Amino acid sequence: MKAAALVRPGIVELVDVAEPECGPDQVVVRVLGVGLCGSDLGVYSGSRPVPRTPWVLGHEGVGEIVEVGGRVRDRRVGQRVAIEPNYCCFDCPPCRSGFTSACVNRVVIGIGVPGLIAERVAVPAAFTFPVAEHVALVDLVCAEPLTVARAAIRRAGIAAGDSCLVVGTGSQGLFLCAALVALGVTPHVVEPHEGRRELAVSLGAVVADDAVRDVDFVFETSGVPAALPPALSRLAPGGTAVLIGISAQPLDLTLWTIVYRQLKLVGSLIYDHPADFAGTVAALEDGAVAPHRVLRPGFPLAAAPDAFAAVRSTAGKCWIDLTA
């Protein structure tokens, strides 16, 4: 069986791996598509260390169940599923309160355990979400990053008609724009890359000019520390900034800015199990959002090395199409 693996930093190759064995609480999924994102690039570049090489990459996977473990009662062969790639432990204090994104024992597919860019993978049944047949693969493969976007929207508490600024329209910013438009919000966007800006506009966003001030919400997706202070200056007093992009660099920001203007800062990390993924699947099934417009044409599995090389410069999302 073939898989795309990191053999050393910056080098992805197609490798032969053993067939997955289906544990009693697992299902084996024939993988149909896997999206690539910034956290994959961290593994690709070597900045996010992995346990060993060759290391199978990828975490935004979808597919079809081909085998069901002995103790699994609520999944069946033939179901198409989205895979939630963050396994919470269900047992630590945050997990017990439903705040699984803060799980202290969280295991991330593609980082703590091998990834999903393989012909078949074994995953815990509880972290697979069956999806109706009518949802196209190109929408289904967006399920994970769309869930990140929808969880940020949920935590923000933004509603139809509110004003907002989205900083950065890399693929996560684009999924956020698609989800905001579906909610009845017109996002204003700040993005230096012309192609990414145009893609956001095609989704229903508006490029923010200097007149955009006093917005109710800012969504920071770029992870560029210098981008936050100017964005906060556009928030209305009492407004909310939702921070999604990650950086280890310090921020050039004063307490005066936050306190005097009574701003709310909300960090939003992934999503909480199982409600956020289930909500995304329901939105895909009823057609409330059609995220496929964020996707670029898929790369076949054999071209996985080219896909990784293309992620950083591409407007929109690169993905591996294992049906190609």
Applying CB under 5 A, the residues found at the interface with Zn ion are 37, 60, 88-89, 92, 95, 103, 105
Specify the amino acid at residue 10.
Answer: G
CB of 168 to Zn ion, least distance (A): 15
Q: How far is the CB of 128 from Zn ion (least distance, A)?
A: 17
The closest alpha carbon to 316, from 299, 292, 295, 300, belongs to 295
Return d(Cα 168, Cα 224) in angstroms, integer.
9
| CB nearer to Zn ion: pick between 232 and 281 | 281
Query: Nearer to Zn ion by C-beta: 163 or 171?
Result: 171
Q: Which is nearer to Zn ion, 55 or 162 (CB)?
A: 55
Residue 6 CB, shortest distance to Zn ion, in Å, is 16
How far, in Å, are 306, 308, 324 from residue 42 at the CA level?
16, 11, 26
Indicate the residue among 217 and 319 with the shorter CB distance to Zn ion: 319
* Residues in CB range of 306: below 8 A, 6 or more apart: 299
Structure tokens at 152: 């940020």
Select 47 or 250, whichever has its Cβ closest to Zn ion: 47
Using CA atoms in the order 10, 15, 20, 25, what is the torsion angle rounded to 10 degrees?
10
Smallest distance from Zn ion to CB 85, Å: 8
Smallest distance from Zn ion to CB 256, Å? 36
How many Å apart are CA 33 and CA 120, to the nearest integer?
11
